[in-house]
Structure 1
Amino acid sequence: MLSMRLPIALLVTFAAFTSGAALAQKKYDTGATDTEIKIGNLMPYSGPASPYSIVGKTEEAYFKMVNDNGGINGRKINFISYDDAYSPPKAVEQARKLIESDEVLFVFSPLGTPTNSAIQKFLNAKKVPQLFVASGAAKWNDPSNFPWTMGWQLGFQTEAQIYAKWLMKEKPDAKIAIFYQNDDFGKDYLKGIKEGLGAKAASMIIMEESYEVTEPSIDSHIVKIKAANPDVLFIFATIKSGAQAIRKTAELGWKPLQIVNNGASFVGSVMKPAGFENAQGVLSAAYNKEGADPQWKDDPGMKKWSSFVDKYMPGADKTDGSIVHGYGVAQTLVKVLEMCGDNLTRANVMKQAASLKEFTTDTLLPGITINTSPTDFAPIEQMRMMRFKGEHWELFGPVRGAEATPE
């Protein structure tokens, strides 16, 4: 009997071993190996949106820090970032290069609404993740039609709804002018304001004025808006045009209540060029902490951020909110890749990205967390209102979503 049992026992042991080995087997798609995770990125290093390119430089620096500390589950990140000049045709060309020549695992944090719109169908057809898009357009949260595309930052429409709800409470009889970029980016904000104002939109909005991103100066638009005499001016613009709008309003001696979108609220790249004296009282909203704000000097997360900038981006302007953004989204990606373990397939990257629960970065405001699900591809959905005073933003009121939170 003993001689019969031994082979059976060995077979059982062998079966258990091989079964365990199968379970532990590593899974890779193109762009991942035992030693490397190859990640693609598109940034406007040139062109009209080039001030935002510091986001890509921050991500590159963050991944260098990760690699210096041993990588992710023993794998180093190979970050390949190309200039698309904020041009949709160029973005398509560079995206094809990343997928077909560089063979990246996925495209991470490509910046810009028009450029990402141009590559969305291509990447989804190839089943390549377009992960944590650096744009708040609503179209990045459409998992049923675009299961390979996910945003990161708060949506433009949601942000605009937050402003509208606040305004309805504080200035219900306001005469509103909306200055917006003439593309999907600006039109999402325009739509959000109208949704937030609801039935009162028709009576409160007295002017809608758009500009082209390629215009060297938007001064004539501000002069035209002033002539309509609104008492509230919404500025939905990118960095350069946002700074120009705030500065020109002051030069005209005109003092409407100005509300500027989050992406054009950075102290170093918008408020300082506009002139701190011109920016007093301007409103916006935020989900990230402000980099050089003294109120965060003892905050553990911002201490880590500051140390990172000192070591990996020496001389960088800590008042530039794009550095805070780049750090936060890179930290989120590292979390996702850690969750992937040894299953580095494109499908699993998207699965884990859609499984974030109450995750927070070093840079998010207290009370704001990242949550995703297979039916919700909008990681950040809350903000706090803020007012510019002196050389910094002052937060006020509660954390808000699209539905106004009671004071």
Structure 2
Amino acid sequence: MLALTRRLVVSAAFATAAALATSAQAEKKYDTGATDTEIKIGNIMPYSGPASSYGVIGLTEKAYFDMINDQGGINGRKIKFITYDDGYSPPKAIEQARKLVESDEVLLIFQSLGTPSNTAIQKYMNAKKVPQLFVATGATKWGDPKNFPWTMGWQPNYQSEGRIYGKYILEHYPDAKIAVFWQNDDAGKDQVKGLRDGLGDKADKMIIADKSYEVSDPSIDSQIVALRDSGADTFFSWAAPKGSAQAIRKVGEIGWKPRFFLANVSTSVAGVLRPAGFENAKGIISSAYLKDPTDPAWKDDPGIKAWRAFMDKYYPEGDKVNSNNVYGYAVAQTMVQVLKQCGDDLTRENIMKQAANLKDFSSEVMLPGIKINTSPDDFFPIEQMQLMKFDGEAWHLFGDVITGEVGHETTH
């Protein structure tokens, strides 16, 4: 009997040891691009070409990951950030995505920029089952987990933004005559749809003119003159930074004084308003979800102070007036949060699982009251914004935080 008991104890001990060994192995799971010491992250940015002013976002993200690495990395692993230029060209984006996935063997692609470029690589990324995470574009198609479970947006989508402006105009200027200038791609179409949805059944009556442009167009003067000649008193510019700067300057040059609404992606004081001329930009309304370093309201804000300290140390050549550098910081923080939640399970599947399980996460450079929330059927991390007005020197927030949530029926 004693021998039997001893045998049972021994076999129990073996079973426990085996279970511990198995659980130790189970604790660490890796896909291509992750090891005990490293996490490889790929990125595609327009460092050249018509949208090159966005390139600073990639530089900020690299600087942020450098800071994280200096602090010991994430769960002891250093981030290797590999970023390539696609010149805002879809064929080049495909080439760079293939290089990152097949040659560099990254774990995921993070923050590839631009609606056309991300559209070009979306099917490839999903066929390869490699996360295309927190893409730097607000097109609504990035929130479609049913058809594209490996692709997720980050910033408020363009339809949400359009709805927010539509709600505001209906409430304050119900008799507005609206002219819309938009980029001829999915981004522009999404924004116009959002505005129309926000205006509801009054949209056809209120929008009296619209003109599109191509990102590669050298001049947009004829479109702006035609929109002024429509007799509109309210003007929407939904264009990339270069096109928006041209539109603001042209509206000023021809002496047109409409109520002017500007897309959130083009609100950079350094990249858009300064080249357009501050005198032309005065009074423009847009929307925000991040703190603006040019707004005196945030001068002593702890979050902006932390961001400034980061810029001083890790990206000293970066422009502290450029809100794109705040954007890069906030989205890199979100990526770090996802990697922290992954623990030692650095599989591509778990990356997407954790990205779809963010609960009330906020970066210290996001506006108070704006939180990131995701779920397996909600791939829109940020859906709230606040309106703001440019006074000729800085943006100033006004009104409450508004939700422009797009129902799941519009996400296919």
Both structures adopt the same fold (TM-score exceeding 0.5): yes
User: What letter matches 1:35 in structure 2?
Assistant: T
User: What letter matches 2:150 in structure 1?
Assistant: W
| Residue number among 249, 255, 258 corresponding to 2:257 in the alignment | 255
How many pairs were matched up? Answer: 404
Determine if contact 2:294/2:395 at 8 Å carries over to the other structure.
Answer: no
Determine if contact 2:295/2:396 at 8 Å carries over to the other structure.
Answer: no
Does residue 398 of the first structure (1) align with residue 400 of the second (2)? yes
* Cα separation, 1, equivalents of 2:293 and 2:6: 67
Matches within 5 A, 1:242-391: 242-391=244-393
- Cα–Cα, structure 1 residues 140 and 403, in superposed 2: closer, same or farther, change >3 Å? closer
* Cα separation, 2, equivalents of 1:106 and 1:83: 17
Q: Which residue in 1 is equivalent to 2:409? A: none
Q: Normalized against structure 1, the TM-score is what?
A: 0.97
Structure 1 residue 362, shift from structure 2 partner: 1.6
Q: Normalized against structure 2, the TM-score is what?
A: 0.96
- Cα–Cα, structure 1 residues 18 and 177, in superposed 2: closer, same or farther, change >3 Å? same
| Residue number among 207, 214, 226 corresponding to 2:216 in the alignment | 214
Per-residue CA distance 1:114-163 (angstroms, 9 max, x = gap): 10001000000000000000000000000000000000000001001100
SS state of the match for residue 390, structure 2?
Answer: strand
- Cα–Cα, structure 1 residues 21 and 304, in superposed 2: closer, same or farther, change >3 Å? farther
- In structure 1, stretches of 5+ residues that fail to align are none
Determine if contact 2:383/2:405 at 8 Å carries over to the other structure.
Answer: no
> Share of identical aligned residues, percent?
61
Structure 1 residue 403, shift from structure 2 partner: 6.5
Larger mean CA deviation between 317-326 and 350-359 belongs to 317-326
User: What letter matches 2:56 in structure 1?
Assistant: I
User: What letter matches 2:12 in structure 1?
Assistant: V
Per-residue CA distance 1:62-106 (angstroms, 9 max, x = gap): 010111111100100011111111111111111111111111001
* Cα separation, 2, equivalents of 1:300 and 1:283: 26
Larger mean CA deviation between 105-114 and 24-33 belongs to 24-33
User: What letter matches 1:341 in structure 2?
Assistant: G
* Cα separation, 1, equivalents of 2:174 and 2:228: 20
Matches within 5 A, 1:117-128: 117-128=119-130
User: What letter matches 1:320 in structure 2?
Assistant: N
Structure 1 residue 316, shift from structure 2 partner: 1.5
* Cα separation, 1, equivalents of 2:384 and 2:200: 20
| Residue number among 125, 133, 143 corresponding to 2:135 in the alignment | 133
- Cα–Cα, structure 1 residues 403 and 120, in superposed 2: closer, same or farther, change >3 Å? closer
* Cα separation, 2, equivalents of 1:358 and 1:64: 26
Q: Which residue in 1 is equivalent to 2:15? A: 15
User: What letter matches 1:11 in structure 2?
Assistant: S
User: What letter matches 1:44 in structure 2?
Assistant: P
Determine if contact 1:162/1:403 at 8 Å carries over to the other structure.
Answer: no
Per-residue CA distance 1:174-231 (angstroms, 9 max, x = gap): 0000000001111110111111111111110110100010012212211121111200
Determine if contact 1:60/1:79 at 8 Å carries over to the other structure.
Answer: yes
SS state of the match for residue 233, structure 1?
Answer: strand
RMSD: 1.2
